[in-house]
């Protein structure tokens, strides 16, 4: 492919996976998604315009505001939810009038329910785009009692932040709640003359989106020129000449079939692709041994934590050690190891930390203790609830002044527990706190 371009992936995790895979194959790439902070996103957008990388691997968070006329290719690894979404995204290529290349990957396999594998993700987004009626009523009931900001609604309802934000906008549009300003804080209150809440409009919208998705699948299998299909979908009955513009109008059709050697290389890469836990305030960059939901690691952790499966198996120790040696080049940088005290899993993390400590010849300290009972973080659906659950829940018995500390836990989700402990350690004079966990989840609040 000539020039630089954009590779669109379906999820945040996929942007990291594919960007690192391309880099592994000597193709310069960087990931872009909504979880990045504003400064990072601006820097990547600037780098795209300056051609710093061959491609940016992004979710659809890389928006319409990208003004780069010479994007030479756009590749979709995930089918968009509708022809409109696809048209908007491919429309960012070749604005300078020169030739640009557009590729949409599509997996023709179907699951046991007869649904195309590549349609599962957009279907899940469609189904999750509108929360259930029960969740709408939870928010209505919360603000009916008293005006609340986003944090107050989150703590009152235990709903995900993206769900709350979607509901708030819908209820404002329907005239059921209104936004009021109290100083710098946005607060939402119930409108006393509010109309009756009605879900029927949203149900009709859901059906329309499923119809749009089917039109996108039809685009994949159409035999007419592809741009003609898109134009007709958008109501443009143009008589333009579409010859030699796509695989249906004279260009070569392409089918990809991986060789066994290629598959083995990809599997080996995935098995050794350790998720980075990015540095934040009070926390140095750390690493996870795997993603929780995409490998057998999650099943092994679940068996040990919730099914009385005993200590974490040795293969998790070996995998985590592999991640440790990959991340920390200075193997003697840590003065000691601390582990996150348990909520309900007994000595699992302590025993795991001791095995890691023995392997890297680093002592495990017992100075980090829990000062009050907390609930399992998994029961909280948003970061506000997770933060409140662990706020002021830990203490240190001993000195951490000037020490570099490796902080071990089993699962990293929102990172609220790690952040709370790292903040405590840094306030007590620790030099550096680096997290090492078995698995990072692929969920969390989505914006």
As a whole number of angstroms, the distance between CA 161 and CA 68 comes to 33
Q: What is the pLDDT of residues 251-260, one digit of tens each?
A: 988 887 889 9
- pLDDT range class, residue 120, cuts 50, 70, 90: confident
Are the beta carbons of 179 and 186 closer than 8 angstroms? yes
Residue boundaries of the structural domains of the chain: 5-106+213-266, 107-212, 274-440
As a whole number of angstroms, the distance between CA 390 and CA 422 comes to 12
Among 24-33, 218-227, 246-255, 400-409, the least confident range:
246-255
| Average pLDDT of the residues in 118-127 | 83
Please name which of 206, 207, 130, 121 lies closest in space to residue 173, comparing C-alpha atoms: 130
The confidence score (pLDDT) of residue 306 equals: 86
The confidence score (pLDDT) of residue 65 equals: 66
**32 beta partners:** 58
Tokens of 40: 């990072």
- pLDDT range class, residue 444, cuts 50, 70, 90: very low
Please name which of 276, 256, 324 lies closest in space to residue 31, comparing C-alpha atoms: 276
Are the beta carbons of 88 and 220 closer than 8 angstroms? no
As a whole number of angstroms, the distance between CA 169 and CA 175 comes to 10
User: What is the three-class DSSP state of 263?
Assistant: helix
As a dihedral over the C-alpha atoms of residue 369, residue 375, residue 381, residue 384, rounded to 10 degrees, the angle is -50
At the topology level of CATH, where does 107-212 sit?
A: Arc Repressor Mutant, subunit A (1.10.10)
| Average pLDDT of the residues in 238-251 | 91
Tokens of 272: 């050794």
How would you list the strands of the sheet with 286-291, edge to edge?
276-277, 286-291, 432-440, 404-412, 336-339
Q: What is the pLDDT of residues 52-97, one digit of tens each?
A: 999 999 998 886 667 899 999 999 999 999 999 999 999 999 999 9
Q: What is the pLDDT of residues 385-398, one digit of tens each?
A: 999 999 999 999 99
- pLDDT range class, residue 419, cuts 50, 70, 90: very high
As a whole number of angstroms, the distance between CA 241 and CA 246 comes to 12
107-212 and 274-440 have identical folds: no
Task: Kindly report the three-state secondary structure assignment for every residue of 333-378.
Answer: CCCEEEECCCCCCCCHHHHHHHHHHHHHCCCECCCEEECCCCCCHH
CB atoms inside a 10 Å sphere around CB 191: 15
Query: ∠ CA(346), CA(349), CA(354), 5° rounding?
Result: 120
Residue 116 has what DSSP assignment? B
Tokens of 242: 């579409």
Percent of the chain residues topping a pLDDT of 90: 63
The confidence score (pLDDT) of residue 447 equals: 29
The confidence score (pLDDT) of residue 445 equals: 36
The full DSSP string for 394-421 is EEE-S--TT-EEEEEEEEESS-HHHHHH
Query: Is the pLDDT reported for residue 135 higher than 70?
Result: yes
Q: How far is CA 77 from CA 18, 39, 54, 80, 104, in A?
A: 10, 26, 16, 9, 6
Q: How far is CA 227 from CA 4, 9, 27, 259, in A?
A: 22, 22, 29, 32
At which residue do the structure tokens 């993700």 appear? Answer: 121
Please name which of 303, 320, 410 lies closest in space to residue 358, comparing C-alpha atoms: 320
As a whole number of angstroms, the distance between CA 323 and CA 406 comes to 13
At the topology level of CATH, where does 274-440 sit?
A: Rossmann fold (3.40.50)
Tokens of 386: 């997770």
The confidence score (pLDDT) of residue 191 equals: 93
Of all helices (H) and strands (E), which one includes residue 277?
strand 276-277
User: What is the three-class DSSP state of 226?
Assistant: helix
Of all helices (H) and strands (E), which one includes residue 163?
helix 161-173
Average pLDDT along the chain: 90
Is residue 273 classed exposed, middle or buried when 0-12, 13-18 and 19+ CB atoms within 10 A define those classes? middle
Tokens of 396: 């240190």
At which residue do the structure tokens 């017992």 appear? Answer: 366
- Which CATH architecture group holds 5-106+213-266? 3-Layer(aba) Sandwich (3.40)
Query: ∠ CA(272), CA(277), CA(282), 5° rounding?
Result: 150
């Amino acid at each position: 492919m000539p020039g630089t371009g954009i590779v669109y992936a379906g999820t945040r995790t996929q942007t990291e996976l594919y960007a690192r895979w391309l880099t592994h194959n000597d193709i310069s790439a960087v990931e872009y998604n909504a979880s990045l902070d504003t400064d990072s996103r601006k820097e990547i957008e600037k780098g795209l315009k300056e051609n710093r990388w061959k491609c940016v691997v992004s979710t659809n968070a890389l928006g319409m505001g990208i003004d780069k006329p010479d994007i030479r290719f756009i590749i979709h690894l995930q089918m968009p939810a509708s022809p409109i979404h696809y048209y908007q995204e491919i429309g960012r290529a070749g604005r300078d009038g020169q030739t640009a290349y557009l590729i949409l990957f599509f997996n023709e396999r179907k699951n046991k329910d007869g649904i195309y594998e590549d349609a599962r993700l957009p279907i899940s987004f469609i189904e999750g785009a509108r929360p259930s009626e029960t969740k709408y009523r939870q928010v209505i009931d919360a603000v009916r009692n008293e005006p609340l900001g986003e944090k107050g609604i989150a703590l009152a309802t235990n709903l995900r932040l993206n769900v709350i934000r979607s509901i708030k906008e819908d209820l404002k549009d329907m005239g059921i709640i209104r936004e009021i300003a109290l100083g710098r804080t946005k607060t939402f209150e119930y409108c006393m003359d509010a109309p009756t809440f009605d879900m029927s409009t949203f149900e009709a919208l859901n059906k329309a989106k499923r119809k749009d998705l089917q039109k996108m699948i039809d685009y994949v299998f159409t035999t007419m020129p592809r741009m003609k299909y898109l134009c007709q979908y958008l109501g443009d009955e143009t008589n333009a000449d579409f010859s030699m513009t796509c695989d249906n109008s004279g260009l070569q059709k392409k089918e990809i079939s991986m060789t066994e050697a290629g598959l083995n290389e990809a599997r080996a890469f995935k098995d050794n692709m350790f998720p980075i836990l990015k540095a934040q305030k009070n926390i140095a960059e750390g690493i996870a041994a795997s993603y929780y939901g995409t490998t057998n690691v999650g099943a092994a952790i679940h068996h040990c934590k919730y099914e009385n499966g005993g200590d974490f198996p040795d293969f998790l120790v070996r995998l985590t050690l592999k991640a440790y040696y990959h991340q920390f080049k200075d193997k003697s940088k840590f003065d000691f190891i601390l582990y996150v005290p348990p909520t309900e899993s007994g000595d699992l993390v302590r025993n795991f930390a001791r095995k890691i400590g023995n392997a890297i010849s680093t002592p495990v300290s017992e100075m980090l203790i829990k000062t009050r009972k907390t609930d399992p973080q998994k029961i909280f659906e948003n970061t506000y609830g997770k933060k409140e659950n662990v706020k002021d829940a830990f203490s240190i018995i001993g000195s951490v002044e000037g020490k570099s500390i490796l902080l071990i836990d089993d699962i990293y989700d929102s990172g609220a527990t790690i952040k709370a402990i790292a903040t405590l350690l840094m306030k007590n004079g620790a030099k550096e706190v680096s997290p090492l966990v078995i698995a990072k989840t692929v969920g969390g609040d989505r914006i």
